[in-house]
Amino acid sequence: MHVPDGFLSPQTYVPAFVAAAGAWAYAARQLQRRLDDTLLPRLAVLSALGFVLMSVMLPLPGGTSVHASGIGILAVVFGPWLTFAVVSLVLLLQALVFGAGGITVLPVNALAMGLAGSAAACLGYRLLKGLDERAGLFAAGWLAAVVPAVLIAIVLGVQPAIAHTADGQPLFFPFGLSVTLPAVLVPHVLLGIAEGLLTILVVSFLRRR
């Protein structure tokens, strides 16, 4: 679900950087407060797992990509703010090492996947775990895939309206919401099922150990 570099206008990514800077500062304080010798190894392992899962990307016709992320797992185990911190770190490493995503799109990807995705995952898990633990974990994984996809499809889909030439030709992303919403959402609703099952498997595995 990464937005590739070069498809977002400065009118989008500059305000996103400002918003993300505040969130990164708060997340860094949370990280500093909670980091200890039991949390650190687990955080590093699951972050690396997230990196590996996000590295296997399939491009979508709407101009973005589909991949698993492990964000549901991170959100259930560490909560939204630590997840936001490590997902931002993973996205930065991906941009620098593989050119996946990118620097201009980093705040949008981080806010959508790391913060909104993990917050939705935590909320879904808390609401459903009382009924059934596995349903809560599945919801966390599914929401962690679908909520960022909706946000990213909206951000991409409004680009032709935000940045265009005098004769209406796009300057950045060329497709509107009528293309991006179905092109991004349909695969991610299905991917969410795999992400939900992965979340159940990995979190159950971690709890047994």
Residues that bind another protein (CB under 8 A): 4-10, 13, 28, 31-32, 35-38, 40-45, 47-49, 51-52, 59-63, 65, 85-86, 89-90, 93, 95-100, 102-104, 165, 168-172, 174-175, 205
Query: Cβ 127 to another protein, closest distance in Å?
Result: 28
Determine the Cα–Cα distance for residues 15 and 160; give it in Å rounded to an integer. Answer: 18
Q: State the Cα–Cα distance between residues 139 and 116, nearest whole angstrom.
A: 14
Nearer to another protein, 135 or 174 (CB): 174
Per-residue CA distances from 113 to 41, 74, 108, 146 (Å):
22, 12, 8, 10
Return the bridge partners of 170, or none: 164
Residue whose C-alpha is closest to residue 179's, from 64, 69, 8, 102: 64
Taking the complex as a whole, the smallest distance from the CB of residue 99 to another protein amounts, in Å, to 3
Q: Which is nearer to another protein, 28 or 190 (CB)?
A: 28
* Burial class for 46, CB neighbours closer than 10 Å (0-12, 13-18, 19+): buried
Shortest Cβ 182–another protein spacing (Å): 13
What is the nearest approach in angstroms of another protein to the Cβ of residue 40? 5
DSSP three-state, residue 164? strand
Indicate the residue among 130 and 168 with the shorter CB distance to another protein.
168
Q: Least distance to another protein from the beta carbon of 43, Å?
A: 7
Nearer to another protein, 4 or 187 (CB): 4
Pick between residue 138 and residue 175 the one whose CB is nearest to another protein. Answer: 175
